[in-house]
Structure 1
């Protein structure tokens, strides 16, 4: 499970960096690396979206004052 958490966190970070580059410089790193409207580009965006959904399950753990997992 730890490997899956690290994988999705890394993909989420890549997505966040890409959005930062789009916002600051109007530069889309994913399109630059994989080409416009390619299957690989769409795959990266799907993985980033799934990573975001997966990371939503961490909110109950972070918000719970009784969880000793991360202390």
Structure 2
């Protein structure tokens, strides 16, 4: 998922998605934004080159699982 105006993925309100072997990159703000008690598992995903941050997590979020995934710093410095 790429080149979205905000985030590739926004997880909220007690959602608990599973992402397998995905690429989340070149989005305007975030690769993944997790808020409002959102959860999720991101396995074998590549999360990189997003505008503000690759993963944004707010308060009230339960632990998430990111395995065999990598994030790189955004291109903005």
TM-score exceeds 0.5: no
Bigger Rg over Cα: 1
- Tell me: higher relative CO, structure 1 or 2? Use CA pairs within 8 A at least 6 residues apart: 1
| Structure number with higher strand proportion | 2
| Structure number with higher helix proportion | 1
Q: TM-score, normalised by structure 2?
A: 0.28
